[in-house]
């Protein structure tokens, strides 16, 4: 009930009344939301350092950048939910270092379980900055890539700021990034259903 209540309490923002010209997607799985950012001039410029760490932003077939935040053990060692172990679950509940996962994708399937959100240029660029500022940077000012972690030929995991725990989940991170960008959203969205409820309440089709 608290997870649903937090999703319907609106954030206090000053609405940007400019034209909404940029589309982003929120893609859901059973327990986790990812951001999908279009690979346009603004996003490629913002995330150019990722290319130096192996993320193929200029792949000829790449159209979207997938971004997800999560607990180190749970996220990097669980390619499918059948691979879950008690240690990863326990650390996710009590506290674990966080990571960001980036991957590229081409054209989207028609049945993709996604919600589309239109942003102004200011909201969009602020969102890109907010995602970038989640990363831990090394002495070379590049994101710190997690060695031997990944699920596809094109993805990568990177050290991120802040701890993951039961009350600050991947879905809370999604809400934080949207509110940072000036998007009206629920104040606390710990579950995927919280994100779905908040989105459908404040950004109906």
154 in Cβ contact with 104 (< 8 Å) = yes
Sequence spans of domains, the chain: 19-166+176-183
| pLDDT reported for residue 31 | 86
Say if residue 119's pLDDT is above 90.
yes
184 in Cβ contact with 9 (< 8 Å) = no
Measured CA angle at 161 (ends 157, 167), to 5 deg: 100
Tell me the DSSP string of the chain. Answer: -HHHHHHHSBP------S-EEEEEEEEE-SS-EEEEEE-SHHHHHHTHHHHTTT--TT-TT--EEEEEEEEHHHHHT-SSGGG--HHHHHHHHH-EEEEEEEEEE-SPPTT--EEEEEEEHHHHHHHHHHHHTTB-B-TTSSB-BPTT--SSSS-EEEEEEEEEBTTB-HHHHHHHHHHHTT---BS---SHHHHHHHHHHHS--
Average confidence score pLDDT of the chain: 93
Per the structure block, which two tokens stand in for 188? 């606390």
Q: Which pLDDT tens digit goes with each residue over 26-35?
A: 999 888 999 9
Q: Please give the C-alpha separations between residue 42 and each of 49, 98, 162, in angstroms, as whole numbers.
A: 13, 26, 26
Say if residue 10's pLDDT is above 90.
no
pTM passes above 0.85: yes
Long-range contacts of 56-62 (CB under 8 A, 24+ apart): 56/104, 56/154, 57/104, 59/104, 59/154, 61/106, 62/104, 62/105, 62/106
Say if residue 100's pLDDT is above 80.
yes
């Amino acid at each position: 009930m608290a997870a649903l209540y937090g999703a319907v309490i609106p954030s206090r923002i000053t609405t940007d009344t400019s034209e909404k010209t940029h589309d982003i997607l929120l893609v859901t799985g059973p327990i986790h939301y990812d951001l999908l950012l279009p690979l346009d001039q603004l996003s490629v410029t913002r995330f150019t350092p990722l290319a130096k760490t192996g993320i193929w932003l200029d792949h000829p077939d790449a159209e979207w950048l997938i971004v997800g935040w999560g607990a180190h053990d749970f996220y990097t060692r669980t390619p499918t939910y059948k691979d879950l172990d008690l240690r990863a679950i326990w650390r996710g509940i009590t506290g674990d270092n966080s990571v960001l996962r980036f991957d590229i994708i081409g054209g989207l399937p028609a049945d993709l379980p996604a919600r589309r959100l239109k942003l102004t240029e200011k909201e969009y660029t602020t969102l890109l900055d907010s995602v970038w500022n989640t990363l831990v940077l090394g002495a070379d000012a590049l994101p710190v890539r997690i060695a031997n972690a990944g699920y596809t030929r094109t993805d990568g995991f990177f050290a991120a700021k802040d701890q993951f725990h039961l009350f600050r989940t991947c879905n809370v991170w999604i809400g934080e990034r949207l509110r940072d960008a000036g998007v009206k959203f629920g104040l606390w969205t710990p579950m995927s259903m919280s994100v779905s409820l908040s989105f459908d309440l404040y950004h109906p089709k």
